[in-house]
């Protein structure tokens, strides 16, 4: 097999290594690479090396190309875009407070409106379920980056808003750098989606486990009965009877071991990982909403989203879950905004 590298592989390798801090000099069939120490250690290569040569072949299936692909896919690729709309809603927000957001046991009113921008993310996650069979797929989660609220309708509608994508290196500074809360919430939501998607697969694995466990028990019960019946055979010596009795006593342990093996075989191991994301800068309407509960009141920001044409959900201020049903609860001279579940908890 020739060690000459495919031109596309050489181009991919050169672009990746330069992106990671390497210096590359290209020739027609190989690359001279000067690598930073951390990168050379990670690739298990000298700091200066010819890539595509016999010492470091670059071809499909080569260990070096596999390591480069792992480096390239380690970071989640992100595309940045902007959604501008010709018209932003100017009135009628009060009635949306009873449709898109429901505040329980409280009075709410819109006290202010301003046009602004907010950032949204479509997080694409890959899942792999491994058991006796393998199942994989993709799920998408729409997120409002500022609050971390899940805006699931966004994923179905963003492409209908004709977004414009920013070229590499020309992304404006409006996108927040810290996304821990939003991404964490998005991953939790993705895991719930995956569990729903895998419901039939999980049921199938449970049914197969139950079937095989039942068959195993029936087999050992029949074997035990057969061996007991054989003890009365006149040709058996006393020593053979003792040996057979010992085997009969061992049958429950052997059966338990077989069942444990079956449980391991049908155990479902699921991994969910982010594999890509779109981030959008969106023109929105920011509302100030006054929430009054008993003798307490507070003002909160609420976003009208022109992509979904609805008010964005809010975040429970105790557990961080997305909610459209908000329970104001008195707390230290103000009101805390909680989801259904947290509102039922004491403390």
For residue 38, give every residue at least 6 positions away whose Cβ sits within 8 Å of its Cβ, in sequence order, or none: none
Count other Cβ atoms within 10 Å, centred on residue 72: 15
pLDDT computed for residue 284 by the predictor: 96
d(CA 312, CA 154): 10
pLDDT computed for residue 347 by the predictor: 57
d(CA 142, CA 189): 10
Axis-axis angle for helices 63-74, 7-19 (nearest 10):
50
Residues in the chain: 347
pLDDT computed for residue 227 by the predictor: 86
Work out the angle at residue 306's Cα, subtended by the Cα atoms of residues 302 and 310, and round it to the nearest 5 degrees. Answer: 55
d(CA 70, CA 51): 17
d(CA 108, CA 301): 12
For residue 110, give every residue at least 6 positions away whose Cβ sits within 8 Å of its Cβ, in sequence order, or none: 93, 94, 97, 287, 288, 289
For residue 45, give every residue at least 6 positions away whose Cβ sits within 8 Å of its Cβ, in sequence order, or none: 33, 35, 56, 64
* Burial zone of 27 (CB within 10 Å; 0-12 exposed, 13-18 middle, 19+ buried): exposed
Which tokens belong to 127?
A: 């899942």
Asked if residue 270 lies in contact with residue 129, where contact means CB atoms within 8 angstroms, the answer is yes
pLDDT computed for residue 2 by the predictor: 45
d(CA 282, CA 144): 10
Give alpha helix (H) positions in the chain: 7-19, 37-43, 63-74, 93-96, 154-157, 180-197, 199-230, 238-266, 340-343
d(CA 265, CA 263): 5
For residue 129, give every residue at least 6 positions away whose Cβ sits within 8 Å of its Cβ, in sequence order, or none: 135, 136, 198, 201, 268, 269, 270
For 54-99, give the DSSP string: SSS--STT-HHHHHHHHHHHHSPPEEEEEE--S----S-HHHHTTT
The string of pLDDT tens digits covering residues 156-214 is 999 999 999 999 889 999 999 888 888 889 999 999 999 999 999 999 999 999 999 99
The per-residue pLDDT string of the chain (347 residues; one tens digit each, 9 = 90 and over) reads 345 567 778 888 888 888 888 998 988 788 899 999 989 998 888 999 888 877 788 877 788 888 887 777 677 889 999 999 888 999 999 999 989 999 999 999 999 999 999 999 999 999 999 988 888 999 999 999 999 999 999 999 999 999 999 998 899 999 998 888 888 899 999 999 999 999 999 999 999 999 999 999 999 999 999 888 888 888 888 888 888 888 889 999 999 999 999 999 999 999 998 889 999 999 999 999 999 998 888 999 999 999 999 999 999 999 999 999 999 998 888 889 999 999 888 65
Asked if residue 271 lies in contact with residue 262, where contact means CB atoms within 8 angstroms, the answer is no
Which tokens belong to 65?
A: 């190309």
Count other Cβ atoms within 10 Å, centred on residue 21: 11
pLDDT computed for residue 141 by the predictor: 96
d(CA 207, CA 133): 13
């Amino acid at each position: 097999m020739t060690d000459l590298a495919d031109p596309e592989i050489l181009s991919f390798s050169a672009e990746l290594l330069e992106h990671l801090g390497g210096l590359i000099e290209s020739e027609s069939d190989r690359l001279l690479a000067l690598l930073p120490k951390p990168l050379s250690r990670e690739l298990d290569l000298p700091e200066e090396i010819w890539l595509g040569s016999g010492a470091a072949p670059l071809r499909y299936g080569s260990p070096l190309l596999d390591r480069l692909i792992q480096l390239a896919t380690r970071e989640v690729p992100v595309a940045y875009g902007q959604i501008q709309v010709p018209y932003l809603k100017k009135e009628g927000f009060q009635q949306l407070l009873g449709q898109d957001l429901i505040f329980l046991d409280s009075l709410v009113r819109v006290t202010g409106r301003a046009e602004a921008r907010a950032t949204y993310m479509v997080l694409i996650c890959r899942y792999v379920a491994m058991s006796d069979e393998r199942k994989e797929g993709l799920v998408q989660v729409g997120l409002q980056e500022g609050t971390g609220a899940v805006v699931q309708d966004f994923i179905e509608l963003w492409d209908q808003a004709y977004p414009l994508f920013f070229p590499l290196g020309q992304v404006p500074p409006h996108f927040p750098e810290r996304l821990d809360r939003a991404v964490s919430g998005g991953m939790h939501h993705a895991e719930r989606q995956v569990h729903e998607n895998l419901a039939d697969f999980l049921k199938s694995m449970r049914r197969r486990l139950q079937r095989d466990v039942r068959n195993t028990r029936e087999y050992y019960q029949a074997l035990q009965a057969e061996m007991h019946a054989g003890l009365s055979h006149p040709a058996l010596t006393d020593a053979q009877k003792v040996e057979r009795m010992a085997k009969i006593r061992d049958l429950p342990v052997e059966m338990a071991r077989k069942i444990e093996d079956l449980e391991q075989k049908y155990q479902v191991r699921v991994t969910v990982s982010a594999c890509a994301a779109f981030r959008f800068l969106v023109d929105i309407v920011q509302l100030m909403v006054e929430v009054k509960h008993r003798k307490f009141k507070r003002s909160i920001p609420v976003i009208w989203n022109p992509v979904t044409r609805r008010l964005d959900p809010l975040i429970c201020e105790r557990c961080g879950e997305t909610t459209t049903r908000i329970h104001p609860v008195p707390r230290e001279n103000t009101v805390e905004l909680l989801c259904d579940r947290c509102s039922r908890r004491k403390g």
